[in-house]
């Protein structure tokens, strides 16, 4: 029996890994120019960090978390998301004391879900968090950052920004009561998940994909009727900043985040191009979270990009984004020219060229076949004559140009002139 990877945990073969990296690098570049700083966080945390920081009554903690017993008996969990860890780290290192922070992290997250296209048990996120800033200005900055990154990746027009407000903690409590009062008489008509949520986490019901529940919700009360002036002003402030920045959005009054500590702004970037798994990025303001994890009340806002889904979208829109192809392939006619070939490759790599050196010997014909299959633009041939005369033979593999033999020190300039 051959070994197989665990269900929902994929191997990313080179073409896919390349795509993911291209996407990640572009987003990182945008984070950089916005002045956000990287923080690296452990993959494992005490289970409590997530049960407190994500919430006991969320899908993540209730059914999706990989928890295990540590060798000393403590309960630890593979991180299902990054926000709770990031807050834990900031509190542990005193980063939130009278300070503002703009942070990001990237890496794998783990959730025990039903694997399908765009939904895996190990997946990658880029998470961004901003602490210490209470106003709609930073909410707008976070969305601006997303907008710039998505435009840079060429997927801006394939994504729709949906926003909503959940108001202050008090607004939300009032709304929750109104929603429960509306749904309670229809309890029997709700799907099973929603019935359970009615008692534990009623706002999550708004998120239901169940047709009967959705039909019921059509007449449900709206959060907008329960907002105080301050909450309204926050939301209006965000909307006008977005408009002035030229960022299109739609207000979706049914958009909620399942977590209790969310306040005011919530948002999602969604696409119709990926089927059911349409949410590529999600986030919002979570002014209650830091306190929940033992800190002083501190404003916070952030989002997480699903990198796997974003890479799928990028590929669907423009398959050439991750086209980091090999430039050159060094053919080694005799074993004794190996060091020369490696040195030649090193010279080209210093000039930023991607070069692979042939290994394992063989006749020139079979080496040229390998060169062709590698996708390289040109082959470099080193034989007896070339090595003694400090020359190299350049053979174009994709263009109809004559083969030429030239001094080695002219090669870099020759390639630059060829514009390849
Ligand atoms: P969904 O409703 O799709 O389950 P979510 O609300 O659980 O998403 P978040 O916790 O907000 O997702 O995570 C942010 C982003 O991470 C999502 O918008 C999505 O792009 C991505 N994501 C979440 N879960 C997965 C997964 N299992 N596989 C791949 N990407 C995921
Ligand atoms: Mg989920």
Q: With a 6 A CB cut-off, is 257 part of the ligand 1 pocket?
A: no
Higher-scoring residue by pLDDT: 321, 237: 237
User: How does pLDDT run across 133-144, given as a tens digit for each residue?
Assistant: 999 999 999 999
Q: Which of 308, 353, 302 minimizes the C-alpha distance to 130?
A: 302
User: How does pLDDT run across 60-117, given as a tens digit for each residue?
Assistant: 988 999 999 999 999 999 999 999 999 999 999 999 998 999 999 999 999 999 999 9
> Could you tell me the distance, in angstroms and rounded to a whole number, from the CA of residue 281 to the centre of ligand 1?
8
Q: The pTM is what?
A: 0.89
For atom 24 of ligand 1, the residue with the nearest CA is: 119
Residue 107 exposed, middle or buried by CB count within 10 Å (0-12, 13-18, 19+): middle
> Could you tell me the distance, in angstroms and rounded to a whole number, from the CA of residue 207 to the centre of ligand 2?
11
Do the Cβ atoms of 306 and 356 come closer than 8 Å?
no
> Could you tell me the distance, in angstroms and rounded to a whole number, from the CA of residue 332 to the centre of ligand 1?
49
Domain residue ranges of the chain, discontinuous segments joined by +: 14-168+228-318, 328-418
- The closest-lying atom of ligand 1 relative to the alpha carbon of residue 305 is 15
> Could you tell me the distance, in angstroms and rounded to a whole number, from the CA of residue 8 to the centre of ligand 1?
14
Do the Cβ atoms of 290 and 131 come closer than 8 Å?
yes
Site to substitute for ligand 1 among 266, 282, 285, most atoms within 8 A of C-beta:
282
DSSP reduced 3-state for 121: coil
- For domain 328-418, which architecture applies? 3-Layer(aba) Sandwich (3.40)
Q: Residue 357 has which token pair? A: 């050196």
Mean pLDDT of the region 122-139? 98
Q: With a 6 A CB cut-off, is 111 part of the ligand 1 pocket?
A: yes
Domain 14-168+228-318 has CATH 3.30.450.20: no
> Could you tell me the distance, in angstroms and rounded to a whole number, from the CA of residue 331 to the centre of ligand 2?
50
Q: Which of 270, 286, 388 minimizes the C-alpha distance to 336?
A: 388
For atom 15 of ligand 1, the residue with the nearest CA is: 306
Q: With a 6 A CB cut-off, is 309 part of the ligand 1 pocket?
A: yes
Q: With a 6 A CB cut-off, is 282 part of the ligand 1 pocket?
A: yes
Q: How far apart are CA 283 and CA 269, in angstroms?
A: 9
Q: With a 6 A CB cut-off, is 64 part of the ligand 1 pocket?
A: no
User: How does pLDDT run across 206-238, given as a tens digit for each residue?
Assistant: 888 888 898 889 889 999 899 999 999 999 999
Q: With a 6 A CB cut-off, is 126 part of the ligand 1 pocket?
A: no
pLDDT tier at 204, thresholds 50, 70, 90:
confident
């Amino acid at each position: 029996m051959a070994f197989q990877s665990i269900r929902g945990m994929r191997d990313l073969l080179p073409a896919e890994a390349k795509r993911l990296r291209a996407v990640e690098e572009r987003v990182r570049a945008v984070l950089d120019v916005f002045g956000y700083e990287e923080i690296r966080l452990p993959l494992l945390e005490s289970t409590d960090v997530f049960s407190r920081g994500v919430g006991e009554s969320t899908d993540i903690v209730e059914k999706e978390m990989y928890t295990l017993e540590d060798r000393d008996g403590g309960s630890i969990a593979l991180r299902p998301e990054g926000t709770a860890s990031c807050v834990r780290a900031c509190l542990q290192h005193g980063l939130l004391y009278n300070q503002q922070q703009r942070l990001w992290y990237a890496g794998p997250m783990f959730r025990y879900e039903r694997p399908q296209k765009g939904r895996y048990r190990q997946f990658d996120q880029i998470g961004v968090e901003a602490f210490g800033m209470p106003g709609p200005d930073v909410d707008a900055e976070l969305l601006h950052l997303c907008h710039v990154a998505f435009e840079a990746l060429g997927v801006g027009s394939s994504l729709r920004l949906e926003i909503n407000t959940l108001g202050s903690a008090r607004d939300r409590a009032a709304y929750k009561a109104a929603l429960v009062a509306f749904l309670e008489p229809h309890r029997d008509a709700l799907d099973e998940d929603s019935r359970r949520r009615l008692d534990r986490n009623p706002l999550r019901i708004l998120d239901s994909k169940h047709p009967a529940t959705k039909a019921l919700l059509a007449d449900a009360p709206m959060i907008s009727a329960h907002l105080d002036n301050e909450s309204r002003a926050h939301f209006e402030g965000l909307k006008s900043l977005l408009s002035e920045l030229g960022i299109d959005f739609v207000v979706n009054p049914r958009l909620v985040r399942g977590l209790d500590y969310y306040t005011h702004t919530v948002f999602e970037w969604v696409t119709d191009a990926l089927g059911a798994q349409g949410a590529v990025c999600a986030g919002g303001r979570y002014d209650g979270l830091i306190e929940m994890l033992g800190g002083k009340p501190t404003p916070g806002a952030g989002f997480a990009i699903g990198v796997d889904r974003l890479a799928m979208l990028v590929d669907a829109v423009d398959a050439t984004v991750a086209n980091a192809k090999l430039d050159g392939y060094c053919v080694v006619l005799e074993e004794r020219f190996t060091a020369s070939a490696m040195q030649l490759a090193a010279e080209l790599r210093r000039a930023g060229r991607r070069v692979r050196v042939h290994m394992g010997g063989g006749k020139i014909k079979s080496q040229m076949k390998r060169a062709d299959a590698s996708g390289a633009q040109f082959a470099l041939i080193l034989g007896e004559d070339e090595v003694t005369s400090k020359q190299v033979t350049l053979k174009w593999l994709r263009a109809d140009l004559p083969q030429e033999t030239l001094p080695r020190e002219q090669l870099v300039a020759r390639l630059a002139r060829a514009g390849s």
